Structure 1
Amino acid sequence: MTTACEIPTVSVSPLLSRQFVRLLVMVFGSGLSMYLLTSVVPMYLAANGSGGVGAGLSTAAMMFSAVGVELVVPRMLARWGYQVVLGLGLVLLGAPSLMLLASASLPVVLAVCIVRGAGLAILVVGAVALVADLTPPARRGEALGVYGVAVGVPAVIGLPLGVYLIDVVGFGALFVLAAVASLAGLVMLIGLPARIAVEEQHVKVLGGVRRSGLLMPTLVFAAVTVAAGISVTFLPLAVAGDRQSMVASALLLQAIAAPAARWLAGRYADRVGPAKLLAPALVLAAVGAGSLIFLPSPIAILIGSTCFGAGFGAAQNLTLTLMYNRVDRSRYGQVSALWNLAYDGGWGLGALAFGAIVGGTGYPVAFALTAAVVALAVVPAVRASAA
């Protein structure tokens, strides 16, 4: 019993536990491995005779491979646990980068992208599910925001740095650096949970999607990732070669804005609910994507990339938080897989479609179509906020 002078204390679970920090460090390394080569591999192909179609195929191959593997990751987690599965993902993402030292032929590069896509799928699905397992539900939005920073900071470093370092150290050194960044994360697996927290897992990724309320945020997020895949793949190719420093600056601004917005969206989503913030985030992303129709204006490129990064980052957190809030713990793996399917499927589809149409329409029209896809997603987001 407390007296009138005593103030009851409220127990608040710590957010940055030792296990969560280990996970964040691992995520940082694997993210750096991915983003160092995201814009570099298309440029590597273009420099060796494979033009826009080859660039689009490389991104699409990685992302569609990820989509296929993401369908089975929840089942892998249920059978083998976090440590084994995440370790496999780190190896598949990092080691194949070294094969690019041997050949720049399109079939070899596409094979490398396919294997790296499988590793990426394992890591993103496993890591997001583990975030939900390791952090208190009342602070889930903030935890996903912190995770978003750990994922986003490698983009801040890797996207512009990869483009910049091509002329400084060459493609080969970048391929080695990408391999080391991922493989070093194996050390961080020590101390992470070996098994998932709930024995009975919903391992069918596409089962019950409509009834559980997961369909809308999945499709909305996919629309935004279509534009994301296009921007990082084709912006370096859409701008004249002597202005690559401006492209690097634009990618840097986009990469900074995304994790910052992702963290802020998570903080406020815990207070007001993610659905109320989703439509404004999509509007911002659509405006940013639409600004690229004014190429080659430096102002349009820099402001558009920043706006898109902010809208994209916020949409990442809001859709994922919304999905987790609609299910019980047995579906955490399903949510992670669905969300990452939307991420990688939209990213790959956007790059593939853009590469196929840009030759006939030109970059301004193709970027306008990209903005229209994002704008269409505002409609269901508005309905969700009013529900």
Structure 2
Amino acid sequence: MMTRSLGLMMAASVTGMLGFFLLFSTVPLYAATGGSGATGAGLATGAMMASTVLAELAVPWLLSRHGYRAAMALGLLLLGLPALLLPLSAELPVVLAVSLLRGAGLGVLVVTGTALTADLVPAERRGEGLGLYGLAVGVPSVAGLPLGLWAADVLGFAPVLVVAGLLPLAGLVAVTGLPAARPVTAGGGGRTGGGLAAPMLVFASVTVSVGVLVTFLPLAGTPALASAAMLAQSLATPTARWWAGRFGDRRGPATLLVPGLLAAAAGTALQAWTDAPVPVVAGMALFGAGFGVLQNATLTLMLQRGEPARVSALWNLAYDAGMGVGATGFGLVLGHTGYRLGFVLVAALIAVTIPLARVRPAYAPLPQ
């Protein structure tokens, strides 16, 4: 299953995502220390996710016109070059402008990577292939989320910002070996894309929690505790995503939706103990496992019913729109709820989507 093209795409994606994750929680903290406080932290993540969503809507057109290689290169450039401007100022207008550009790069990169993976792997092993891709792009979150916060605390923000800008640019070397081909599409009898709403909404409910946790966990407790908790989450998510792909190819991905939601909701609720290391770290590990399971299960379900480029755009839109809504919305209501009640309410939002997860599309498992 691992071809040269798939390997090069994963290498390019890893460098881009490492640059992204180094700054995912660091930039909101950078904005907050620059004088804009919790509201500025939420706006930084929200602006980036809003830009990501808008870019994701345009990626199917970009792929159909220019192909995979050009799209991957554009995504890496937008992720890397603007980050190099951040050391110049922590003022909110600068942070927001850079976040908008980097968000567009993220949208192009993730939609292109997911669609190319779905095109390169055999249909009967798609869940496993997407799990392998998820495992590869999960490595940057394992290293980047906690390392970015730790390095900013120990070394200062400037070195982290510069390194995070250079890493995506290094991925351009791998992009030169990618196919310039355009996405594979079905003919007139192909998939119509019906039935995508339920798994998309299920996934979006969990990504709302992602946006809240990665933005506000360092502010709710301490950066050191947040680093440990995000490391636990970052280890659990890609592992669970890979396992879910193998399980889903044999038993059907729909069977994983309810367990994934329960784990994610419980893990979010445990963050209400904001300054207690055991529930915070254990909760983030539990949340990460549920999140990884749902990443693979919802994406595989949607790919059964739609073309890879379109499904990739919609799934990543649910991912990033949910994070943006979560970060921005939580920042706006935080003064009324506080962190403890706020985390509990986010967990409840995940739980209310369980009825949607019980709607199971037809699925034919692989022969044993």
TM-score of the superposed pair, with normalisation by structure 2: 0.95
Partner of 1:6: none
1:187 aligns with: 173
Mapping 1:1-387, distance limit 5 Å: 15-198=1-184, 212-239=194-221, 243-327=222-306, 331-384=307-360
Gaps of 5+ in 2: 364-368
State the superposition RMSD in angstroms: 1.7
| Alpha-carbon distance in 2 for matches of 1:333, 1:61 | 24
SS of the residue aligned with 2:36?
Answer: coil
User: Residue type matched to 2:337 in 1?
Assistant: T
| Kept in 1: contact 2:52–2:107 (CA 8 A) | yes
Check the 8 A contact 1:276/1:385 in 2, yes or no.
no
Please give the alpha-carbon distance, in whole angstroms, between the structure 2 residues aligned to 1:246 and 1:364. Answer: 16
1:294 Cα deviation after fit: 2.3
Query: How many angstroms apart in 2 are the aligned matches of 1:284 and 1:200?
Result: 36
The sequence identity of aligned pairs, in percent, is 50
| Structure 1 residue identity aligned to 2:336 | G
Residue 200 of structure 1: CA displacement? 7.0
| 8 Å contact from structure 1 (residues 201, 333) kept in 2 | no
Deviation at 1:201, TM superposition (A): 8.9
CA distance in 1, matches of 2:112, 2:255: 28
* CA deviations over 1:364-385 (Å, ceiling 9, x no partner): 1100110011111211102327
Judge conservation of contact 1:78–1:199 (CA < 8 Å) in 2: no
Does the CA-based 8 Å contact 2:34-2:92 persist in structure 1? no
| Deviation digits for residues 230-253 of structure 1 (CA, Å, limit 9, x no counterpart) | 1110000000xxx43222111100
- CA–CA distance in structure 1, aligned partners of residues 214 and 52 of structure 2: 17
Measured after TM superposition, the shift of residue 363 of structure 1 is 0.5
Q: After TM superposition, give the deviation of residue 195 of structure 1 in Å.
A: 1.5
The structure with the larger Rg is 1
Separation (CA, whole Å) in 2 of partners of 1:290 and 1:300: 9
3-state SS of 2:35 partner: coil
Unaligned runs of 5+ in 1: 1-14, 203-207
| Alpha-carbon distance between aligned partners in 2 of 1:200 and 1:307, rounded to the nearest angstrom | 38
Q: Which residue of 1 aligns with 2:366?
A: none
CA distance in 2, matches of 1:298, 1:364: 15
Contact persistence 1:60–1:351 (CA under 8 A): yes
Q: For the Cα contact (< 8 Å) 2:232–2:288, is it kept in 1? A: yes
* 1:9 counterpart residue number: none
Which SS does the other structure have where 1:255 is aligned?
helix
Residues 135 and 235 of structure 1: CA distance in aligned 2, closer, same or farther (over 3 Å): same
Matches of 2:154 and 2:34, distance apart in 1:
18
Residue 60 of structure 1: CA displacement? 0.3
Post-superposition offset of 1:300: 1.3
Q: Kindly state the Cα deviation for residue 295 of structure 1 after the two structures are TM-superposed.
A: 2.3
Q: Secondary structure at the match of 2:89?
A: coil
Aligned counterparts of 1:345 and 1:286: Cα–Cα separation in 2: 19
- Check conservation: 2:212, 2:330, Cα contact below 8 A: yes
Mark the CA change 1:130 to 1:385 in structure 2 (over 3 Å): closer, same or farther: closer
Equivalenced residues, count: 361
Cα distance, 1:50 vs. partner? 1.1
> 1:205 matched to which residue of 2?
none
Provide Cα deviations, 1:243-276, integer angstroms capped at 9, x if missing partner. 4322211110000000010000001000001001
Amino acid paired to 1:49: G
TM-score by length of 1: 0.90
SS state at 1:371 partner: helix
- Shift of the 289–193 alpha-carbon distance from structure 1 to 2, 3 Å rule, reads same
